[in-house]
Amino acid sequence: MKKVIIILILGLNLILLNYCAKPTVVNVTLPKDNKLDCEKLEDALADAQEFRKKAIEATGSTLDNQLRGLFFWPALMVTYSNAHEAIVAAGERSVHLINIMQKKNCKNLDELLVEVHTTPRVQTLKDLNEAYKSLNELYKSGALTESEFITQKKKILGQ
C-alpha cells in the first residue's frame, strides 16, 4: 500500500510540475536573418514582440497562476522563471532584428522602434511598488481620474 501511495504522490508531483506555463523562448539569432528582406524582418520583429507579450501575460495574475500558487507554488516559481527567460530572449531577438534593419536602411524603422520601445518592460517588485505608490498618490491628489488611474495601473502591471 505504501508503494502505491508513493507512486501516486510522485506521479501527482510530475503532473503538477508539468502544469507550469512554458512560454515560447525564441532563438535570438537564426542563420538566415541577414538574408531576410525588410518586409520579412518586420514580420520577424512582430513575431518576437508577440512572443514577448505572451510571456509577459504568463506572469500576470491569471487564474492559472492563482491555482499554481494555491495548490503547488513551485509550479508558479517555474512559470515565472520560464516567462522571464522568454521575455529576455524575445527582447534580444528584437534588438538583433532592428540592428539588421538599420544596416539595410529599412523604411518604417522609426515607427517600429517606437512600438518596440513602448512595449511593457519587466520590472522588479521594488520598481512595481514604487511606480504603483506614485500612481496612487497622483490619483488620491486628484491629478488622475479613476479611468486614467486604472489605465495607468494596467500599463505598470504590463496588462
| pLDDT at residue 156 is higher than 70 | no
Cα 97 to Cα 39: distance, rounded to the nearest angstrom: 12
29 phi, psi to nearest 5 deg: -125, 145
> Count of alpha carbons within 13 Å of 15, Cβ hemisphere only?
7
pLDDT (0 to 100) of residue 141: 82
CA dihedral over 123, 124, 129, 131, signed as positive or negative: negative
Q: What is the mean pLDDT of the chain?
A: 76
Cell of 85: 527567460
pLDDT (0 to 100) of residue 13: 63
pTM of the model: 0.58
Q: How much helix, strand and coil, in percent to the nearest 5, is found in the chain?
A: 75, 0, 25
Exposed / middle / buried, residue 117 (Cβ in 10 Å: 0-12, 13-18, 19+): exposed
pLDDT in tens, 17-32: 555 555 656 677 778 8
Cα 9 to Cα 7: distance, rounded to the nearest angstrom: 5
| pLDDT at residue 96 is higher than 80 | yes
Mean pLDDT for the stretch of residues 79-97? 82
Cβ atoms of 36 and 99 closer than 8 Å = no
Domain ranges of the chain: 19-121, 123-159
